[in-house]
Amino acid sequence: MTRYARQIAVPGVGDAGQDRLKAARLLVVGAGGLAAPVLQYLAGAGVGYIRLVDPDHVELSNLHRQTIFRQGDLGQPKAVAAAKAMRALNPDCRIEAIEAALGPKNAADFCADVTLVVDCADSFAASYILSDHCKAANLPLISASVTQTEGYAGGFCGGAPSLRAIFPDLPQSMGNCAEDGVLGPVVGLLGSLQAQMVMAVLMGLMPSPLGQMVTCDARAMRFGGFRFDGAPEPEWQPEFIAPDAMQDTDFIVDLRDVDEAPLICESALRLPVAAFGPDGPQPNTGQRAVMVCRSGLRSWQAAERLKQVWEGQILLVAAGDQA
């Protein structure tokens, strides 16, 4: 036990806590900047099994913050390169690398037989999809998000409120690392906090990070936080579905510009978010409304506008970057 002697010596951990780490099975979604400290600290700590899901390849612009990759990894699948690095760090940790994007159709399969889910995806749609599944399955979810010099990490589900309880509504715009930029140390800071939250949940350390939000403003060198154990779940929770779950009878709206992507299907209408409202188009009685965009943000915004004038079912599709 020489490898783990320093953490076993921490009060509340001991041999029992180390055994819990060894028995744990984790799903980590995303192998980027947040996952870099998450994977290194959890694999190094002796977590027994990590299922790592990411669809992307290592790019030069990743290297300033995704510290598990090296120049020689450029062009390699992130999940595969990260798994190789973790096996070199600790061969006792079994890493299953999956080159795929998480979505509504495969979330349940990826979450099967795991103890806890770690959301390191740079996608708010993936975060909500994971939260919805974890809430239904009573799985703990440790989620974080970072852009520029700010971010948060929190513990959701598994007996605590879901992500939707804290973020029931969306802002009018939502940045990401590719568009708004990000500083590497901020990502490392929030990813390290995620890893600590995961270990605390797995080892039963108190107070539990489930139901806890921690915020960080690195530019101002300021941390904040609050507990949300009693936060109510919102009554309206628009569901994400996979593109192939759309039906011929649906009222389908593609919110992407004509130069952004071809129509998701022949029957779809191409309309902007602003088209919906009191005088805008509405589905027929009995139809499902399906709003489609790249990330899911415009879909949610259009759904909120349609909901004000129509009481039927509204579903969201985050189509991603592919045509």
Q: Please give the positions annotated as active site.
A: 177
Say if residues 167 and 174 touch (Cβ distance below 8 Å). Answer: no
d(CA 199, CA 186): 20
d(CA 25, CA 170): 32
End-to-end CA distance of the chain: 51
Say if residues 227 and 212 touch (Cβ distance below 8 Å). Answer: yes
Longest Cα pair distance anywhere in the chain, in angstroms?
A: 69
d(CA 304, CA 236): 10
Is the peptide bond prior to 55 cis by the omega test (within 30 degrees of 0)?
no
- List b or e across 245-274, with b for residues whose CB sees 16 or more CB atoms inside 10 angstroms: ebeeebbbbbbbeeeebeebeeebebeebe
d(CA 101, CA 320): 9
d(CA 302, CA 305): 5
Say if residues 150 and 219 touch (Cβ distance below 8 Å). Answer: yes
Which two three-digit tokens encode residue 85? 């690095």
- Give the start-end residues of each E strand in the chain: 25-29, 49-53, 94-98, 116-119, 140-147, 150-157, 212-217, 222-227, 239-240, 251-254, 269-270, 289-293, 314-318
**Which region holds residue 30: left if phi is over 0, alpha if psi is between -120 and 50, else beta?**
left
Pair type for strands 140-147 and 150-157: antiparallel
